[in-house]
Amino acid sequence: MQLKLIHQLFIVSQRNLLLRIRFSPSEIATATLALLFILTASQAKAQFGPSPVVVSPVVKEQVSVGQNFVGTVRPIKTAAVGSAVNGRVSEFPINEGDYIEAGSPLAQLLTETIRLEHEAAVHEQDLREQELKELENGSRPEEISRAKAALAAAKAAKDYNEKKRQRAEDLYGRGAINSDEIQLILSDYIQAEQMFVQMTEAYDLVVQGPRKEQIAQARAQVAIRKAIANRLADQLKKHTIRTPFNGFVSAEHTEVGQWVSQGELVAEVIELDYVDVETYVPEQYIAYIHKGQQVTVEIPALQDHLFTGTVEMVIPQADTRSRTFPVKVRLKNTIEFAEPSEEKSETISIKADPLIKSGMQARVHLPTGNKQEALLLPKDALVLGGPQRIVYVVVPGQEKEPATVKPVPVIVGVANGDHIVVRGDLQEGDQVVIRGNERLRPGQQVIPQLEKSKPQVKKSKEGGELAAPPAPK
């Protein structure tokens, strides 16, 4: 009934106004849209009840004065990966923009020649190891028995020839044999005696085994062959050029079939799991900036996001011309990975898209002065995505009417734990919506509920900023 009455009044009033007063077409359109908005809002209130939301108060605290500085997003790691050996590229399974995991191959060089050399070196090493093992094991029982038998035979021959010599000398003394015969017998005896000496030494050598010097020489030969095999294995390994860390391929420098020399670039890889925003701060402000401070970062290309970073480094070397110091603020990035495809691919890359990209412009809000009073509210109260950052402030209803919300544009400042400094049409104690604010509309009725109490936020000595979780070095 109420909706029908409003609609009739709208038609009558529009007709009477047109008859009595001459309005411009733009004024008529504006009035029509305003009445239609009232009609739509009334209908929405009739169909849907007040929305439950969680609110938190605007607080006033002492924080450092801040200022925005323009910076540039840089990757925390950049690697220009080159080839450690000479060779021809046989495989190049990457493309610019691909995401690849640490240890994945960037390029493969031909390995046939180096592979054969490595196999030969491995076999040579095995041969030398077997020779060393033979020396270290000493003589076998069969060899000792053979040497012992040869020694016994030599001793028997020596004893026989010695008796033969003694008998010949006796016969020669009695004139029974001539000098030629005695000389022949003496010669046989000397040979038998020398053979016995040789067999004795041979037996002793067999029993004692190889000399220590021989074993040492054999061990040295094994070490040399092992070093050669390891060197060739390392050379073979270097024919596969791999990425040193997880990251994105930012540049290609070769192709399949191309010859690359030692030290020549193959590809460039950047790590974007974390990024650094590099900015330059005038010397009069640098005393207020310290490593570990938590600061706010805005990226114009990403209007839907507001980032909180940590001052990673204040480089203590100013540009002598501009008198500005480089400051690096580290941010945690978000990388969206595509679903793996069931189709076979010739590449080893993973399709991924980083939210923050290298080279983007950024605005970093850094402390630049002493503490002063400022308004703070929870970061969750900020509604992003539009031309301005806004917060929804709860307006108490009249008498039994439900509360409503109104949007208030704000300008963000330095971070303070879960809160952030803002400037805008706000007062201390105002209740701002921190959950349920994504779908609110101006004037929408709400049922505010206070946020459950949290442990008190600790503050640092530099102006209230808290250190963010540690990022990789």
Determine the residue type at 29. A
Same domain, yes or no, for 11 and 40? yes
pLDDT means per 10 residues, the chain with 473 residues, are: 44 44 45 45 55 91 87 96 96 93 95 95 94 81 81 86 86 82 87 88 76 87 95 96 95 96 96 96 94 92 90 94 96 83 55 92 91 88 85 88 91 84 91 89 89 54 39 45
Q: Which of 140, 466, 76, 134 is nearest to 271 (CA)?
A: 76
Specify the pLDDT at position 341.
53
Taken in order 17, 21, 22, 27, the sign of the CA dihedral is negative
Specify the pLDDT at position 291.
94
Cα–Cα distance for residue pair 47/44, rounded to 1 Å? 5
Residue 237 included in any domain: no
Residue 80 included in any domain: no
Specify the pLDDT at position 12.
43
Q: Which of 117, 138, 133 is nearest to 207 (CA)?
A: 138
Residue 96 included in any domain: no
Residue 284 included in any domain: yes
Residue 59 included in any domain: yes
Same domain, yes or no, for 323 and 376? yes
Instruction: Work out the burial of residue 444: count CB atoms within 10 Å of its CB; fewer than 13 is exposed, 13-18 middle, 19 or more buried.
Output: buried
- Please check whether residue 325 is in contact with residue 280, taking contact to mean a CB–CB distance below 8 angstroms: yes
Specify the pLDDT at position 348.
57
Domain that holds residue 286: 52-75+276-343+356-450
Specify the pLDDT at position 316.
95
Same domain, yes or no, for 14 and 65? no
Instruction: Give the CB-side neighbour count of residue 115, counting CA atoms within 13 A.
Output: 6
Same domain, yes or no, for 71 and 12? no
Chain position carrying tokens 């010669």? 187
Interacting residues of 408 by C-beta distance below 8 A, sequence separation 6+: 390, 391, 392, 393, 424, 425, 426
Residue 121 included in any domain: no
At residue 213, the 3 state secondary structure works out as: helix
Tokens of residue 453, six digits: 């109490």
The DSSP result for 263-300, as a single string, is T-EEEEEEEEEEEEEEEEEETTTGGG--TT-EEEEE-T
Question: In the 8-state DSSP scheme, what is residue 128?
Answer: H
Chain position carrying tokens 């009445």? 35
How many helices (H) and strands (E) in the chain? 6, 20
Tokens of residue 260, six digits: 């690359």
Residue 416 included in any domain: yes
- Please check whether residue 333 is in contact with residue 34, taking contact to mean a CB–CB distance below 8 angstroms: no
Same domain, yes or no, for 311 and 360? yes
Same domain, yes or no, for 9 and 66? no
Residue 106 included in any domain: no
Taken in order 448, 454, 460, 461, the sign of the CA dihedral is positive
Cα–Cα distance for residue pair 164/168, rounded to 1 Å? 6
Q: Which helix (H) or strand (E) holds 28?
A: helix 25-47
Predicted TM-score of the model (pTM): 0.64
Taken in order 173, 178, 179, 183, the sign of the CA dihedral is negative
As a three-state string, the secondary structure of 144-204 is: HHHHHHHHHHHHHHHHHHHHHHHHHHHHHHCCCCCHHHHHHHHHHHHHHHHHHHHHHHHHH
At residue 116, the 3 state secondary structure works out as: helix
Distance from the Cα of residue 333 to its chain's centroid: 12
Tokens of residue 324, six digits: 């500005």
Same domain, yes or no, for 16 and 64? no
Q: Which of 52, 77, 102 is nearest to 449 (CA)?
A: 52
Angle subtended at Cα 306 by Cα 305 and Cα 308, rounded to the nearest 5 degrees: 135
Specify the pLDDT at position 19.
40
Same domain, yes or no, for 332 and 396? yes
Identify the CATH number of the domain in which residue 323 sits.
Answer: 2.40.30.170
For the chain, the domain total comes to: 2
Same domain, yes or no, for 62 and 39? no
Instruction: Work out the burial of residue 65: count CB atoms within 10 Å of its CB; fewer than 13 is exposed, 13-18 middle, 19 or more buried.
Output: middle
Specify the pLDDT at position 26.
45
Specify the pLDDT at position 11.
46
Same domain, yes or no, for 334 and 373? yes
